[in-house]
Amino acid sequence: MGIIEAMRLDGKCGFVTGGARGIGKCTATGFAEAGADVAIVDLDFETAEKTAAEIAEATGRKVIAIKCDCTDPDQVAAMVQEVVEKLGRLDFCHANAGICINAPAEEMTYEQWLKVLNINLNGVFLTDIEAGKYMLAHGGGSIINTASMSAHIVNVPQPQCAYNASKAGVIQLTKSLAIEWAKRGVRVNSISPGYIGTDLTLSSPHLQPLIAKWNEMAPLGRLGKPEELESICVYLAGDTSTFTTGSDFIIDGAFTCF
């Protein structure tokens, strides 16, 4: 079997949180294009349904939508159970749901701090643990977490201490789970995207001055495209990455190199 055939995900099933749009939509598309059946998990169920139908039509794979608040332990447990019931198994997942609140640290409310940490870190923990429980009991699997280059640098000019701290936590959680589960068949890795030009980012008027500054600072002079994250996630979900666990992959156009 050649390397291209070996990287396919035929017969595998998985889910993507925050999968209705942006990065999650693109990685879900990549998984389906590689042959996997996929669940689009999002709090915005209407958009998730549209995304699922769009990917299913384009790829011919079984793609379903599930509504879930990833900060609610009961909902996350029920979501994983629904994925298994409707798709038949769980081989991989991409814990991708997240938010960012830009506020100076001395002005940020405790409620804002907690909201960011709860979604970005606690939500990833709950997703990983529930997916991990199934995988540990069924011979293994692959977990992919969305961290950020913000776990490695302090972004400027926008103030975002809660986001940066939450994403640094995601990387350490990833490494910790990878060590705990290494001999039990469950691999855990993270991706750390740089500035990515999602539809929401590009259409936001208040972000336009920031985008101009980011592009000025970027070695490649541009934002990344969500599609440029697909291949690394397909690799991590499949069987050619069986010696890869506990790793963080920075995909940032060399932004963190200086």
Q: What is the pLDDT of residues 173-184, one digit of tens each?
A: 999 999 999 999
Identified catalytic residue from 12, 134, 167, 190 = 167
163 is annotated as an active-site residue: yes
Q: Over the stretch 152-170, which tens digit does the pLDDT of each residue have?
A: 999 999 999 999 999 999 9
Q: Would residue 33 count as lying in a domain?
A: yes
Task: Specify the pLDDT at position 3.
Answer: 83
195 is annotated as an active-site residue: no
Q: Would residue 138 count as lying in a domain?
A: yes
As a whole number, mean pLDDT of residues 19-27 equals 97
Q: Would residue 99 count as lying in a domain?
A: yes
pLDDT exceeds 90 at position 49: yes
**Intra-chain end-to-end CA distance of the chain, in Å:** 41
Q: Would residue 165 count as lying in a domain?
A: yes
Identified catalytic residue from 134, 163, 195, 235 = 163
Do residues 117 and 39 make contact, with C-beta atoms less than 8 angstroms apart? no
Q: Would residue 7 count as lying in a domain?
A: yes
Q: Would residue 194 count as lying in a domain?
A: yes
Global pTM value? 0.97
Residue 89 sits in a domain whose CATH number is: 3.40.50.720
241 is annotated as an active-site residue: no
Q: Across the strands, what pairs with 187?
A: 142
Max CA pair span of the chain: 57
pLDDT exceeds 90 at position 189: yes
Report the distance separating Cα 160 and Cα 65, nearest Å: 31
Identified catalytic residue from 12, 142, 148, 235 = 148
Q: Whose structure tokens read 């640290």?
A: 105
Do residues 156 and 105 make contact, with C-beta atoms less than 8 angstroms apart? no
Task: Specify the pLDDT at position 258.
Answer: 83
As a whole number, mean pLDDT of residues 198-227 equals 91
CA distances from 208 to 70, 194, 203, 218, 223 (A): 30, 16, 8, 15, 12
Q: Would residue 258 count as lying in a domain?
A: no
CA distances from 56 to 27, 60, 61 (A): 14, 5, 5
- Per the structure, the complete domain to which residue 85 belongs is given by 3-251
Task: Specify the pLDDT at position 200.
Answer: 75
Report the distance separating Cα 248 and Cα 144, nearest Å: 10
Q: Would residue 257 count as lying in a domain?
A: no
Per the structure, the count of domains in the chain is 1
